[in-house]
């Protein structure tokens, strides 16, 4: 377990739904195979864009099982065990490790108000009572707590955390995290979740990325990672520029916000690309339709994806 | 179901834990009986201070079962069905109604980002698929969405919502909500969750209150409600003044924040009063100890409770 | 100076502009006289709704001079000395006291980030270097600092502050402030700035109010204060209910936000009522027009003001 | 005016104070000359760290005059004209252009609440009524408005804005801004204000930086800019790594926050380096002392600056 080193491109896998809100297994299989064929280095299931908080426990179990069956050891499988507080997160962690996950990803506790004492204790308990590497998922926009880099480095040094998935939007904090992690002997795998600025994160010293947009265009992120490994920063930037043009699927829609516009854009693009059979969203979110679908189609056409 | 009218004092019940983090049933029984004996008009289980987000599904089920057994129809039982998104909330709702709850309390969806479209759809689905009155729990400090009064009144008029538990800290919005609810024929039971300003909420036209501090001192809240019913506002204010002195159990501690200091103070006071056998907190929160316990004790002594 | 006790209704005076953005003195005179005639207990110039931050130093000086000339000692004159940091606030304070103000109103420092050390030092310097009573203006929505009640009570006891104008939207903090001020011998005059919930603030023990809506309907606020003084809470609530219906001038407009919709609604109502010659706003804010003016007119008609 | 292109390293100049809170001209002169000698490409006076909001109008005038005298056309002089709303900002702009500034830097309006309509109108008025290039200063942590990249690009294309100083902490938005500005023909000079992640901003396509830390260590930032120009990203990163070690002067102090710890650390370092005669801060902020000074000294020693 201590030997698992997650690096490179690890997309957070989007989940396809059938019209009656069941997991659409054939679409899921197409999506996963398409990303592995494109050369991704791992897959992260049940992340924020992977419908984790929309899924019942039974559905979470089904997503993990199908994911592990489909991936079939071709790449490491990371599983999000996201829930409000420690005991609930532990339950998800036990299920995921029983089903065969390679690593677990947990946020700070949320809903109840607390401080860093509780955050630290939370990760320590997860480490003690679970048998897989734990990644801290730093996503203040959802959990309303920012994980401070000194705490992350400390927990990395002590072996409590194996890595960090950074979706904090705080590039200064991430820069310090990379630098201090390096000085500490690099105990943590540091992955950025910000698909638009992966280039800057790689220059900062990130070990990899978790780009949602790689569901739509995995090859570009794979090329960018290889260029970064080779120190070819002009190519890194050029790939990022190109991917960012595709990322405008996020902002060409109107009348929608948050998950409906973000993950909704991914699902709509995957549907238009023939990977998904529909763009159905989990309740209470509505699928994009009409002009919003056309606007996304235009972005894909303009960028040569369609 | 449409006939249920919740009014008066409905404390959100704090949950006692054993040293191995199990439900301490004897302490729970003493707490519930003490509040019913003091004359409360209902009890709200699995609210924010009732450890809802700390409790696994099995533990939630146990709390509801024991609560319903102990209350034994002496007062209505409201149950919190708090979780991130619709499908998960529905599951909790089905369990609660199967176990015999009288009404359900649900927040806006949280964790995933969204807007009012999703919030409205969420409450509509809960109403359609559950068979009990639904109270909207407006608690932006935890879910980071404020429920606007126009939406609440609209959902009240249409029979989607039976009431609102307001913990928004927004007395202006609550004032409008009371006034517009009245103009609409009073479809909603409006309960304030702010124990420190129940007097102002009653003057605004609230139908009742959900004061956490009533776990510690139920009799004062019962007297305040009776005085408000009688239009005796001088007594309402005097009772609130007295209760607020006791409420300093929240701010005499140091080095703790959020749940640890708030619910931690309730549990410590109940332990000192002999109602609870300990002040143990759910993981990852630590129980108050040492000087913090002494400081709370002093408040209880100074106010004649001990 | 120590003897000044501000109580009752002290409206924050809205400022009329001419088409070329000069002070419209005749309209200003009509507005002030109308409020004094209605029985208000004081007037607050250069508050947030009094265009303080939109006005150059020269314009501020003109507003104070005209205000003092027009009021002519009929009621106390409070003047806002609002600016970013201490030295700038001091300059405004010196001008206001030279021109004849009765009391000064200052916020916490803003723009630069700081903490309570700086806030406390700021008020202490103002007290030491100015010769008029200082009111702390608690308006976190504008300055992004909440003034804690323990600090306010402490500064009141020491004679640093003469009072507080509370626009914090935090009725719990205000309730504690009233109660602790009382226990300390009532050193502070406590005025609520929330026109919609003045009834609750009076029940809490407020010494008065600073309601922007009193620019439009001063008589209602005067009656409410008298009823509160007499302990007639049913009338207090009824007056507040009626005023709140008028307050919908804030929310019947569309496409505008913040100052444009708030102070814009006051100016438009005063224009429709014949008190102001126009509803012109300070740059860069645009005046309400078209359907928004009609919507406000309808509220005034529906409530018998027009 | 349209020809001014600001690129490279443009430090926001920190201001030294005498014990009686006057401008310490000899220290100011040493600081400016030291940075110009190190090769900076411009200087920005009266920015957030240049005490703009702490300075009276007279003091602002003095800082500008002395700055222009000392710089003596060796590099372009940018001047912050930061104040709450349009008319006040215009006044500062007229003074700065009369005194000989090369460009002006203005934030979105602050204190009064508003929306993008007001922000856009604000910059349009500044452009129409002032005769120097206007840089938009995007600093939501101080003004609580984020300037959206589509608005900035639009105002750049129309010639309203000459550039942007980005202190938004939003690297995603800055990445889009760089990319869209490029597609629009590069009308805007884009400068990052985040001294810790200048490397990533340069890779994004920034035209330069405004690093506060360059007051302490200008040579490193100059070398980093030259390496970026040469496409030598390994050196860019290495220089950033080294500068970030020095930047720990921000976090080795305790008991201080915001301006006191940030600009306080700059002043203390400059005092220890012999550039400033003291580390006195503007009221109401206190200078760092005792252990905090020692902690900063240790960082300077450890990094070979002392």
pLDDT computed for residue D4 by the predictor = 73
In a mutagenesis test of the C interface, which of B167, B172, B178, B192 is the best target, namely the one with the most C β-carbons within 10 Å? B172
Residue D145 lies in a domain: yes
Residue B247 lies in a domain: no
- pLDDT category, C4, cuts 50, 70, 90? confident
Question: Side-chain half-sphere of C73: how many Cα atoms within 13 Å?
Answer: 0
Q: Evaluate whether chains A and C are touching (3 or more beta carbon pairs less than 8 Å apart).
A: no
- Token digits of residue A91: 């339950």
Angle, in degrees to the nearest 10, between helices B171-183 and B149-157: 30
Closest Cβ opposite residue D233 in set A196, A233, A240: A233
Which chain C residue lies closest to B193 (C-alpha atoms)?
C172
Contacts of D284 in chain C (CB under 8 A): 85-86, 109, 114, 118-119, 121-122, 125
Return all residues near A53 (Cβ < 8 A) that are at least 6 apart: A82, B84, B85, B88, B110, B111, B112
* Minimal CA separation from C142 to chain D, in Å: 5
List pLDDT tens digits, range C183-192. Answer: 999 999 999 9
The residue assigned the tokens 């509040």 is: B35
Contacts of A235 in chain D (CB under 8 A): none
Tell me, yes or no, if D286 comes closer than 8 A to chain C by beta carbon: yes
Checking if the pLDDT of C227 tops 50, the result is yes
**Measured between alpha carbons, how far is A38 from D268 in angstroms, rounded to an integer?**
53
Contacts of A117 in chain B (CB under 8 A): 256, 260, 286
Its sign, for the CA torsion D108, D114, D117, D121, is: negative
Contacts of A234 in chain D (CB under 8 A): 231
The residue assigned the tokens 């529906």 is: C302
Return all residues near C123 (Cβ < 8 A) that are at least 6 apart: C106, C134, C136, C155, C160, C161
Runs of H (alpha helix) within chain B: 25-37, 57-71, 86-99, 116-129, 140-143, 149-157, 171-183, 198-204, 218-229, 233-246, 259-272, 291-302
List pLDDT tens digits, range D67-110. Answer: 999 999 999 999 999 999 999 999 999 999 999 999 999 999 99
Residue B90 lies in a domain: yes
The answer to whether B8 and B38 have CB atoms below 8 angstroms apart is no
List pLDDT tens digits, range D238-273. Answer: 999 999 999 999 999 999 999 999 999 999 999 999
SS3 B133: coil
Q: Which domain holds residue D38?
A: 8-231
* Minimal CA separation from C141 to chain D, in Å: 8
Checking if the pLDDT of D1 tops 80, the result is no
Average pLDDT over chain B, rounded to whole? Answer: 97
- Judged by CB atoms closer than 8 Å, whether chains meet at C199 and B200 is answered as yes
pLDDT computed for residue C173 by the predictor = 98
* Minimal CA separation from A12 to chain B, in Å: 15
**Measured between alpha carbons, how far is D115 from C260 in angstroms, rounded to an integer?**
9
Runs of H (alpha helix) within chain A: 25-38, 57-71, 86-99, 116-129, 140-143, 149-157, 171-183, 198-204, 218-229, 233-246, 259-272, 291-302
The residue assigned the tokens 């007290």 is: C127
List pLDDT tens digits, range C44-58. Answer: 999 999 999 999 999
Tell me, yes or no, if A129 comes closer than 8 A to chain B by beta carbon: no
pLDDT computed for residue D3 by the predictor = 58
Which chain A residue lies closest to D248 (C-alpha atoms)?
A176
The answer to whether A292 and A271 have CB atoms below 8 angstroms apart is no
Return all residues near C171 (Cβ < 8 A) that are at least 6 apart: B169, B171, B194, B197, B200, C197, C200, C201, C204
* Minimal CA separation from A61 to chain B, in Å: 14
- A12 forms beta bridges with A44
- B105 forms beta bridges with B80, B135
- pLDDT category, B1, cuts 50, 70, 90? very low
Tell me, yes or no, if C116 comes closer than 8 A to chain D by beta carbon: no
> What share of chain B in percent tops pLDDT 70?
99
* Minimal CA separation from D191 to chain C, in Å: 21
- A251 forms beta bridges with none
The residue assigned the tokens 């409410």 is: C224
What's the DSSP call for residue A147? P
- Judged by CB atoms closer than 8 Å, whether chains meet at A260 and B285 is answered as no
Tell me, yes or no, if D258 comes closer than 8 A to chain C by beta carbon: yes
Checking if the pLDDT of B2 tops 60, the result is no
Average pLDDT over chain C, rounded to whole? Answer: 97
Closest Cβ opposite residue C179 in set B176, B205, B241: B241
Residue B289 lies in a domain: no
Query: How far is C-alpha D47 from the chain's CA centre?
Result: 5
Phi, psi dihedrals of residue C43, rounded to the nearest 5°: -135, 140
Closest Cβ opposite residue C285 in set D59, D82, D114: D114
- Judged by CB atoms closer than 8 Å, whether chains meet at C197 and B175 is answered as yes
* Short-list C28, C6, C23, C1, CA closest to C186: C6
* Short-list B238, B229, B239, B250, CA closest to B292: B250
SS3 C244: helix
The answer to whether D111 and D82 have CB atoms below 8 angstroms apart is no
- Judged by CB atoms closer than 8 Å, whether chains meet at D197 and A204 is answered as yes
Question: How many other CB atoms are there within 10 angstroms of residue B57's CB atom?
Answer: 15
Residue A250 lies in a domain: no
SS3 B106: strand
- Judged by CB atoms closer than 8 Å, whether chains meet at D196 and A172 is answered as yes
In a mutagenesis test of the C interface, which of D85, D140, D212 is the best target, namely the one with the most C β-carbons within 10 Å? D85
Tell me, yes or no, if B180 comes closer than 8 A to chain C by beta carbon: no
Residue ranges in chain A whose pLDDT is less than 50: 1-2
- Judged by CB atoms closer than 8 Å, whether chains meet at A284 and B121 is answered as yes
- Token digits of residue C153: 């009570």
A vs B, Cβ pairs < 8 A, gives 148
pLDDT computed for residue D2 by the predictor = 47
The residue assigned the tokens 């008298």 is: C226
Contacts of D200 in chain A (CB under 8 A): 171, 175, 197, 199-201, 203-204
**Measured between alpha carbons, how far is C137 from C152 in angstroms, rounded to an integer?**
11
Q: Evaluate whether chains A and D are touching (3 or more beta carbon pairs less than 8 Å apart).
A: yes
Closest Cβ opposite residue B197 in set C171, C233, C245: C171
- Judged by CB atoms closer than 8 Å, whether chains meet at A241 and D194 is answered as no
List pLDDT tens digits, range C112-155. Answer: 999 999 999 999 999 999 999 999 999 999 999 999 999 999 99
Residue A261 lies in a domain: no
The answer to whether A173 and D153 have CB atoms below 8 angstroms apart is no
Q: What is the CATH number of the domain that holds C31?
A: 3.20.20.70
Residue D49 lies in a domain: yes
The answer to whether D182 and D209 have CB atoms below 8 angstroms apart is no
List pLDDT tens digits, range C91-114. Answer: 999 999 999 999 999 999 999 999
Tell me, yes or no, if C57 comes closer than 8 A to chain D by beta carbon: yes
* Short-list A64, A47, A56, A60, CA closest to A10: A47
Closest Cβ opposite residue D203 in set A179, A194, A200: A200
Window 208-247 of D, Cβ < 8 Å to C? none
* Minimal CA separation from D186 to chain A, in Å: 15
**Measured between alpha carbons, how far is B276 from D206 in angstroms, rounded to an integer?**
62
Which chain A residue lies closest to D178 (C-alpha atoms)?
A241
Mean pLDDT to the nearest integer, D21-41: 98
- Judged by CB atoms closer than 8 Å, whether chains meet at D203 and A237 is answered as yes
Its sign, for the CA torsion A7, A11, A12, A18, is: negative
Mean pLDDT to the nearest integer, B192-200: 98
- Judged by CB atoms closer than 8 Å, whether chains meet at B112 and A258 is answered as yes
The residue assigned the tokens 């896998």 is: A13
* Short-list C133, C148, C110, CA closest to C44: C133
The answer to whether B271 and B294 have CB atoms below 8 angstroms apart is no
Which chain A residue lies closest to D244 (C-alpha atoms)?
A176
- Judged by CB atoms closer than 8 Å, whether chains meet at A200 and D204 is answered as yes
What's the DSSP call for residue C258? T
In a mutagenesis test of the D interface, which of C20, C50, C55, C87 is the best target, namely the one with the most D β-carbons within 10 Å? C87
Q: Evaluate whether chains B and C are touching (3 or more beta carbon pairs less than 8 Å apart).
A: yes
Mean pLDDT to the nearest integer, D44-61: 98
* Short-list B38, A103, A244, C100, CA closest to D149: A244
Question: How many other CB atoms are there within 10 angstroms of residue A115's CB atom?
Answer: 16
Residue D226 lies in a domain: yes
Q: Which chains touch D (3 or more CB pairs under 8 A)?
A: A, C
SS3 A46: coil
pLDDT computed for residue A4 by the predictor = 73
> What share of chain D in percent tops pLDDT 70?
99
- Residue/partner pairs of A55-61 with CB below 8 Å, 24 or more apart: A55/A15, A55/A282, A55/B87, A55/B88, A56/B87, A56/B88, A56/B91, A57/A91, A57/A92, A57/A95, A57/B57, A59/A23, A59/B87, A60/A92, A60/A95, A61/A95, A61/A99
Tell me, yes or no, if A57 comes closer than 8 A to chain B by beta carbon: yes
pLDDT computed for residue B5 by the predictor = 86
- A103 forms beta bridges with A78
Query: Where do the DSSP E strands lie in C207-303?
Result: 208-209
Number of domains forming the structure of chain A: 1
What's the DSSP call for residue C79? E
- Judged by CB atoms closer than 8 Å, whether chains meet at A175 and D203 is answered as no
Checking if the pLDDT of B48 tops 80, the result is yes
In a mutagenesis test of the A interface, which of D171, D198, D232, D249 is the best target, namely the one with the most A β-carbons within 10 Å? D171
pLDDT computed for residue A2 by the predictor = 47
């Amino acid at each position: 377990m201590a030997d698992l080193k997650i690096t490179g491109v690890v997309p957070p896998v989007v989940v396809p739904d059938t019209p009656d809100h069941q997991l659409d297994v054939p679409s899921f299989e197409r999506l996963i195979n398409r990303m592995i064929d494109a050369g991704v280095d791992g897959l992260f299931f049940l992340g924020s864009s992977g419908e984790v908080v929309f899924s019942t426990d039974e559905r979470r179990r089904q997503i993990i099982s199908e994911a592990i069956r489909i991936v079939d050891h071709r790449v490491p499988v990371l599983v999000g065990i996201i829930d409000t507080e420690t005991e609930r997160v532990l339950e998800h962690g036990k299920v995921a490790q029983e089903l065969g996950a390679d690593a677990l990803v947990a946020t700070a506790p949320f809903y109840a108000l607390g401080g860093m004492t509780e955050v630290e204790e939370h990760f320590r308990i997860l480490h003690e009572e679970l048998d897989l590497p734990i990644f801290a998922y730093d996503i203040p926009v959802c959990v309303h707590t920012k994980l401070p880099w000194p705490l992350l480095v400390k927990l990395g040094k002590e072996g409590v955390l194996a890595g960090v998935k950074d979706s904090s939007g705080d590039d200064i904090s991430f820069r310090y995290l990379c630098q201090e992690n390096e000085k500490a002997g690099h105990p943590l795998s540091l992955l950025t979740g910000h698909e638009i600025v992966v280039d800057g994160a790689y220059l900062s010293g990130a070990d990899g990325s978790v780009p949602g947009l790689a569901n739509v265009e995995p090859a570009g992120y794979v090329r960018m990672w290889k260029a970064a490994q080779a120190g070819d920063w002009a190519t890194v930037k050029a790939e990022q520029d190109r991917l960012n043009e595709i990322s405008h699927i996020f902002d060409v829609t109107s009348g929608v916000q948050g998950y409906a516009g973000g993950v909704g854009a991914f699902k709509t693009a995957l549907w238009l690309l023939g990977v998904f059979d529909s763009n159905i969203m989990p309740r209470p979110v509505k699928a994009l339709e009409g002009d919003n679908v056309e606007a996304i189609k235009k972005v894909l056409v303009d960028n040569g994806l369609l």
